[in-house]
Structures are given as structure tokens and as C-alpha cells.
Chains A and B, each alone.
Chain A
Amino acid sequence: MSKHKSSPPDNSHGFSRRSFLKGAGVAATGTAVLNSGLLGQASETHSNVIGPDATSIALNINGSVKHVPVEPRTTLAEALRHELHLTGTKIVCDRGSCSACTVMLDGMPVNSCTTFALDAVDRKITTIEGLGDPEHLHPLQAAFVEHDGMQCGYCTPGMVMSCAALLERNPNPAAADVQQAISGNICRCGTYPKVVEAVLATARSRKGA
């Protein structure tokens, strides 16, 4: 019942949590960050140490830049929920074993409860709210409604995100592909059969379109 999710590459954006925490790398990485325009006020104070108190960072969420105070230990899930009130992303196990907190980083599904908010700087973050809203559902979300791919609904945002990511990388999945893609998404109500139906129906209707 494990799930393979791509973890975000540590330093592909010229900015890593480790160097951020150490502070020693501020000159080098700080430049990159400032150039990117994504670090807020704190980095402009020329302090050698950032953290452990909250520092304002900028996150690119659902197409817009949000400034959010985070501590080095703040997870992306916590920042989304507690600071930005984007509560579609759920915290359930808080240790990467249930996938209820799944969001996309640059199109890849990740567990936001085991991703530090700082690691999401300079990445394109898509949350469930960014996929579609109740008035304008993403076709996959509409299929979840039609096929009843939910009961209590608490796992549903994470489930939808895992399936959306699957359809991005594989527009024609077989049932087994869907089961693999959601193998880390725990649903206590037992909606898996209807989730698989919904994803396959979405793929079929896209093919037909």
C-alpha cells in the first residue's frame, strides 16, 4: 500500500532548505531568491540568520503569488491551511502515509504534510481549489460527482489531485493504473471502486471529445 510520489528535487531552483537554514549560504542563495522576487521582506533585512521565527515567503499558488509567514519547520500543508485558509488540502496522518494532503508541485503530486513550505518557493503549487471551483468543476471533479467517488469527502481532495496528476501523465489509464495512482490515498469510507469509475469515465469522455 505504498505510493510512489516524486519528491521535489532539493536544489533545482537555486534554493534549498538546508542552505536557507544554515544562513551561511545567504549570500549565494539569497541572491537567487531575491532575483526570483519570491522572498519577501525578511530577506531584505540583510540578517545572517533566517528563522527560527516566522519569515514571510512568497508562494505561487493556483496562479497567483501569496505572501505567507512561515517558520523553517512549517509544512506546506500547514501554510496552506493555517495561514492561507486553503482548507481543501487536509491533514490526516501528518506523516506522508495517507495522501489526503496531496497537492501538485510543478504538476507532480506530493504529500504537502511532508513538504516544507520553504521547499515550495519558486515552484508552481496547485491545490484542489486551483483545479476547479464548485461553479466551474474540472471534468475529473464533475466525474467524481456523477459517479459518487466520495462519501464523507475528507479524502476526496487528495484523491482528486492524485487522479488529476495521473491523467496528466497518462490520458488513457487502465483500472490498474488508477489503483496504482491512488494506492497511497487512504479512504476510510471505501470509495475506491467509484473513484476508479470516475477516472476511467473522465479519460473516455476526453478521448471522445
Chain B
Amino acid sequence: MTPVSQETQHQSKKQGVKDESKTVQKKAQETSSAAPPDSRSAELLIGIPGSRDGVKKIQRNVPADEPPQLPPNSELKVIGKRVPRYDGALKVSGAAKYPSDIHLPGMLYARFVNATVPHAKIISVDTSAAEKHPGVKAVHVLQDVLGQAELQDKAKEVPSRYPIVRYAGQPIAAVAATTPAGALEAARLVKVQYEPKPFVVERAKAREPNAPLVFPGPAAEKATAGGGGGASDVPQKGNVRGPNRGRHDAGPKGDVEKGFAGSAAIVEAEYRTQVQTHSALETHGLVADWKPDGLTVYASTQGTMSVRDELAEIFNLPKTKVRVFTEYMGGGFGAKFGASNPGAVAAHLSKKAGAPVRMFCDRKEEQWGTGNRPDAHMYVKAGASKDGTLQALKWISYGTAGVGTGAGSAGPAQNMYDCPNLLVEEYDVFTNAGPGAAMRAPGHPQGVFGLEQTIDALAEKVGMDVLEFMDKNDRSPERREERRIGAEKFGWAQKRRKPNSDPGPVKRGVGVAQAVWYRINSMDSGCEVRIHQDGSVEALSAVQDIGGGIKTVIAEIVAEELGLQPRDITVRVGDTSMPPGPPSGGSMTTTSITPAVRNAAFKAKGRFVKEVASAWRVPAASLRVADGNVSSDSGKSVSFKQAAGAMKTETVSATAMRSPEYGKRDMIFLGGVQFAEVAVDTETGVIRVERVVAVHDCGRPMNILGLESQVNGGILQAISYALFEDRRLDQNTGIMVNPNMEEYKIIGAKDMPQIEVHFIEDYLARSSTDAGGIGEPAKIPGAAAVANAVYNATGVRMYELPMTPARVLTALGKVKQGGIA
């Protein structure tokens, strides 16, 4: 897991969230307590309503031009309610045009030529037959392969005219033709001659001393938004890169051996998780339209600006000459930052052909090489004193991100519990497999699978209820309240029995697991709000809506500020010609953009009021904008629309950027607690998850309806990860055997449990909205909660994902290890 800092600034190629933490912490120390001239001191609400400590007041410096803190959600009209999705009607009717739906006049269709071997030097690429194929307008042979680690010292590798093939499916060339079928036919005519090299696709084998080398020397990969990519400056030996030890203020501390010596109970185990692919329904790709006056692309991305920046860099264009549109996009989950290979190739082809080019991966290509959650092999040892106080935690993990980096899993071990003695070592293992990418809480579902089973086992060993054990060792006020609410809603006290309590073949059990994630703020977040003379209002930002519903939240904020309804606001996002927007990764979108939106709406309202006051010849301070009306102290009241008609100018507008978090800039975490109930059929090995209760925090909740959807999704993706999904590579050929959507099994509607989602309100006094994200924390605890429930049901612990019937039966001793797959 890559370090994630609290605040990030846009970087040229991809948004780095990595190396910023030190800078942020340094800056935080420099923050003085006296209010600088452009700020004011304000008394702000802080805390969780209804919790043990309740809501208090705190004095913090706030930028002078920002609006007063919003009252709690219960006093608001729109924010925090259940607001239907802004673009729902367009999505349900098929009218929403996704990047893959874009059709430009004269548009060509492109296809990749992919490597058929996992490791090779390319001797030749013969495109002559493809070029002559009817309808083919351009052919491009890749000079660089994006989105994977690079050999640091090129001299260590035998010179090659073409990029070295390091995994089966790696793109080599591409063709553009007038029809999709023509492009596919032509791609098949490209002849590639390989000089094969030895390869290794299994993590354990890649660690062996004489394993084939994926890279002949140290290799590294740039970090991406949301925590993808590996740490820099770590040693590499053979295919093994590491150790990476800790980060932030949560690195190694104390002396674990002393801690274990002083422990009354110790648990020690190895846990393994598999590779999970993102499997977004819309594949990676875009439509690129190269014209003399610039490049326009319609990209399926989580970061319009990072696509722009990467293309500008590759083609040496000023940022003003690359415009990226992402009005809709069909899912990302962390793998869609930057232009990546399809984007770069489409732009090359469009430039060559002089026509727009549509380049979208097919499902196989999507599964082979566009990203995945790395696997993990975690060695965990933890000790506690007799009274259940955590004494020591040791975490050593190996993971493979294929030809990428960032397979750490120690984030939760470092940040969830208070532990005086902590040692973590993370190692990346290179294999000849498609590169990993940030995937919804990188490192954390795997880390929590190991950590929360360890905590469950340790609590049992000291004879404590696991919730009591958590209360003792977890300092997060959010999770404390979430455990309390969750236990009550779930019926924990009644349902939690001794392990293996059911006498029959179908055994029921319950388990709990927790999330920890980081409140990440991208300072590259801006918004413009315009109020027009006809009373219509629009909000504009380059930010993209990846399905999390940020369009709806933007409409809510502007409506709340202007006393209107969300439907009164037109939201235009996903266009890099607008004020900058954050990448949608690491649960940072809402945290980052919402204060900019509110601040812009507040400023625009000020200008609007001035205009109306001038027309009405009353002081601006005597006007109020609320409930769809503008009214004055003198008793005059007209609709917002009528009032806008009195403006002398066509439009008043204001733009605002995100300001730094209020107060001392220390790391703030997001929590979340999930309870699961399972039924395990001990004769077939089938696990059914019957019920999940989730309680989460995300600062000030903005839209309960949309938040519920995201948490549902996190839970279902986690159950899918726990029980079904598994990318499989054939060790003899290095080729993925299930690059599809049926053998790569994704949870369906019949496997979903009954789900109940609750939110706490968590006022942080950190921004003008105090809102935060939910995408990552929602995904983190599910698999671990299910595993703990399986243990509670059967008395047998599952140490490996996915928990297939074969593995369950093996664990139960009903079949021999290795007897079945």
C-alpha cells in the first residue's frame, strides 16, 4: 500500500498522492495559532451527534471569504436528505452518452495487437498485411507501454527496438479501420516475431532465488491517485522489492519482541488473498479527435485532468490544446486514471489518420492488463495482555502487482488500533502478469482480512467479546459509535454465540470487521457557479461523476446555498475547460470539491444579492435568499426567478478553489464497521451471506440515497471478493484462463444478502461542508466480516480467499488438501 497524504496537489502526469505527506506535515507544524490577515477565527461545531462525547465547539481559523459553517443536517433543507440522482432519467432511458457511445462523423474503430507470450523480446512487427487490409486508415506500433513499472537502469537490458513483453496480453500495436470488424481482421494480420524469455507468474515461485527475472534490475512505478503504485526508494533483490516500512506517523515503533514477551495471549497466522480485477462494465478507452487546433478526447476516466496532462506530456502539447470530456463513465474502481495505453494509442492513430478514433479495450484486454487488486500473503502475529490490551503487532506481507508495484497490505495494521509495539514490512513481488492498479481502498480489504481475523482470534483467546476488545484498543470515536449502533441494529448480543454452536450440517454464525481509510483532500478542486437573468443556475467543474453521484451532491449544495431545489440547478462536469476538478480516487471527490462548490455558490449569491439590492434600491444586507424566494426586510418578496430578472447583467458568476483543511493539518481517518451473518453448508462447503449491517462515517453525509448505494456496492464487491472472484493464470503458458465475466465470477443478484446501512453524522470543522467520501471504507471490512462469521459458524478459520466450497471443505477436513483445486 502506497502512502496516502491528507492533501495533494495536481501533478503533471498522474495525481501523486504519495510523497506529499511529509510536506503536509511540515506545513502543519508551521501553521500558527493567530489568525492570518485573510482569515477569521470562527467557533465551529465538532463531534458526532448522539455519541458518548456529543457535539462540542472548537475555535479555528477560517478563510475570511468562506461562508459560515453549515448547521447540523437536521436543520438543512436539501443536504443530507435522500436526493434522487441528478442524471437518473438519462441513465435509465439509455439517453446518457458514455464515452464508448460517442460517434463522431468519419470516426474510425481501433483494435490492439496483444502479446501472446508472457515474457519476450520482440524481434519484428510486420504490419504490411494489416496496412493493405480494406478500410484500414492507420497503424501504430507502441514505443512505450504505460501503466506499469519501468526498469530504472535501461543499460541492464539487452537493447530492443520494441518494448520488452513482460506479460501475456501486453499491447504491441494497434490498427484503426472504418469498421470494428475491419479493425479486428487487420489486427489479426499483424505478424509479431518473439524471442521468448523465461517467465514466472506465481508469487511464491517468483520469490525463489533462481526464479526468472521479470526485470533485470530495479524497477519502479509512479504513484497514482487513490493509493496505487508502490513506495519509492526501496531496495530490490531479484523479483522482490522491499521492505517498505510504515509511513505517516504510524511507522514501526517500540519493540515487538518485548511486546510479545509481555503478552498473555499471542496469535500467529498466515493469510492469503487473491488477485481481483476491477471489471468495470465500460472498458478502458476513449474517442480521440486530433485536429490542427488541438486534441479533443471523450474518455472513460476517473480523472479528466490526469488524462489531459498525460496526453499533453506525451504529445508535447500545452494543456490548453487538450480538452477532455467525461460526461458519463461506466465504472472505474481505481484503474482509470490517466490516458493509459488506449488513450495514447488512440491519439497517435487519430493524428496519423486525420480522423477521430474510437479505441476501447475488449473484455479480454480489460482483464489482462488494465489493472487489478494485487494478491497478498500476510504473516501476522499479535499479542495482548490479560486484560485485552494490545501489546505487539508484527506484519510481514508479500504481494504481487504483476509488472506493477503497490502490493502492500499493512495500512490497516498501522492505522486501525493503538499498539505500543509495531513492526511492518511490505514486499512487492514482480511476476509476468498484468500490472496492478489502485483498486477501491488499495491494500486495505486484504490487510483487514488478516488484521480483523487476528483481532477476532486474539479477543477469543483472552476471553473477551470482540467488540469489547475493539473498544479497548481502538481510539476512533467514529468506530466506537458505529460499533454501538451496529451491534444494536444487528442484534449482536443475541446472535453472537460460541463458535460451531449449530448441531446440524448448516451452521450459522456472525462476525464483525472494521474499516480504516484516510480523509484525502485534493487542492486542485474548483467550481464556478453562474446565476443567469432568467433565474437559471449552473455549476461547472472539470470533476467527473464515476457513479458516486457527485453531480447530485453539487446540485444539492448550490440549491441549499441559494434556497432552491436540486432540480433547479444545472450541473456541468467532466470537461477540462472548466475549473479544475479532483480525480475520483481514494474517496477524495466529495471531500475535495464540495467546499469549492459551496464557496463559489456563496460568492455568487453575494453578487446576485448586490445586483438585486441595487435594482430594488435597498441595502444588500436587508435581503434574504431562501425557500425559492428573495425577500427584503421591507416586506418585499418575489421568486428567485423574478429577482434574477432585476439584475442589470445577464450573468453573475463566481469561482472558488478548495482551501486547505481548517485547523492543524494532521491525518484524519474514515472509519466504518460491518456486521455479517452467514450460513455455511458443511456438506457442500457453500457459504451464503444472509445479512449485513453496515455503519459508516463520511464527515457530513451529503446524500443518504447515494451513500446507501455506494455502501451497498462496497459490501457486494467485498462479498464477491470473499467468495467468488479469482484471476487465474496458467503457470505453464502465463496466460489468464478466465479473462471474461463468467469464469471470472462476479457476484449476482441471487447471492446478495439483506443489507442495512446506517450513517453517523461526523462534524469535523475542517471545511465549509465538512463532507467526506465513502467509496473505499465501504469496501474494506466485508470480506473479513464474512470470514469471522464463518469461523463463528464452524469453529474453523479460513485463511485464504476466495472462500470457495473446495477451500471450506478442505478447512473442515472433509477433503484432503490438494485433493481438489
Contacts and interface: CB of A to CB of B under 8 A. Distances in A.
A131 interface: yes
Contacts of B710: 151
B462 to A, nearest CB: 36
A97 B742 contact: yes
B15 interface: no
Interface stretch (A14-22, A30-38, A182-190): A182-190
- Size class of the contact patch on chain B: 35 or more
A179 interface: yes
B180 A82 contact: yes
B708 interface: yes
Interface residues of A, number: 62
Contacts of A191: 709, 712-713
Contacts of B87: 153
Contacts of A182: 748-749
A10 interface: no
Interface in B735-775: 740-742, 745-752, 755
Q: Which residue, A73, A87, A193, has most C-beta atoms of chain B within 10 A?
A: A193
Interface in A115-173: 127-129, 131-134, 137, 141-142, 144-146, 148-157, 160
Contacts of B89: 134, 137, 141, 145
Contacts of B171: none
Nearest to B552: A148
Interface in A77-117: 78, 81-82, 85-90, 92-95, 97-98, 100
A154 B331 contact: yes
B440 to A, nearest CB: 11
B549 A183 contact: no
Nearest to B547: A152
Given A88-B93, A134-B89, A188-B281, A154 B741 contact: no
B740 A145 contact: no
B175 to A, nearest CB: 17
B546 interface: yes
Contact of A134 (B84, B95, B333): B95
A195 interface: yes
A61 interface: no
Contact of A141 (B93, B328, B716): B93
Contact of B333 (A81, A184, A188, A196): A188
Q: Which residue, B329, B706, B713, B748, has most C-beta atoms of chain A within 10 A?
A: B748
Contact of B181 (A73, A81, A196): A73
Interface in B693-711: 705-706, 708-710
Q: Which residue, A87, A93, A184, A190, has most C-beta atoms of chain B within 10 A?
A: A190
Contacts of A196: 749
B712 A100 contact: no
Given A87-B97, A190-B712, A190-B716, A152 B329 contact: yes
B21 interface: no
A191 B377 CA distance: 31
A1 interface: yes
Interface in A169-209: 178-180, 182-196
A87 B746 contact: no
Interface in B427-485: none
A157 to B, nearest CB: 4
Contacts of A134: 89-90, 93, 95
Interface in B383-439: none
A128 B745 CA distance: 26
A93 B634 CA distance: 64
Contact of A189 (B328, B362, B709): B709
B103 A85 contact: yes
B280 interface: yes
Given A182-B749, A190-B715, A190-B716, A155 B94 contact: no
A157 B709 contact: no
Contacts of A85: 103
Interface string B703-737: 00110111011111100000000000000000000
A151 B548 contact: yes
B752 A88 contact: no
Contacts of B251: none
Interface in B149-181: 179-181
Nearest to A179: B749
A98 to B, nearest CB: 5
B91 A156 contact: yes
Contacts of B368: none
A80 to B, nearest CB: 10
A100 B281 contact: yes
Contacts of B715: 190
B98 A154 contact: yes
B740 A132 contact: no
B84 A146 contact: yes
Nearest to B328: A153
B546 A152 contact: yes
Contact of B752 (A71, A188, A193): A193
A129 B89 CA distance: 12
Contacts of B713: 151, 189-191
Nearest to B95: A134
B249 interface: no
A156 B752 contact: no
Contact of A186 (B96, B100, B746): B746
A25 B286 CA distance: 43
B331 A189 contact: yes
Which 8 pairs between the two chains have the least Cβ-Cβ distance?
Answer: A88-B94, A154-B330, A152-B547, A190-B713, A190-B716, A153-B91, A87-B101, A145-B88
29 contacts: A78-B180, A81-B101, A82-B180, A85-B103, A89-B94, A90-B100, A90-B281, A90-B282, A92-B282, A92-B741, A95-B740, A132-B93, A137-B89, A141-B93, A145-B88, A148-B85, A149-B92, A152-B329, A152-B330, A153-B91, A154-B330, A182-B749, A186-B748, A188-B333, A190-B716, A191-B709, A193-B712, A194-B709, A194-B712
Interface of B: 84-85, 87-98, 100-101, 103, 179-181, 278-282, 328-331, 333, 362-363, 546-549, 705-706, 708-710, 712-717, 740-742, 745-752, 755
Given A93-B741, A179-B749, 19 more contacts: A1-B746, A1-B751, A82-B103, A88-B94, A89-B94, A90-B281, A90-B282, A92-B363, A100-B281, A129-B93, A144-B88, A145-B92, A148-B85, A153-B330, A156-B92, A183-B750, A188-B333, A192-B752, A195-B749
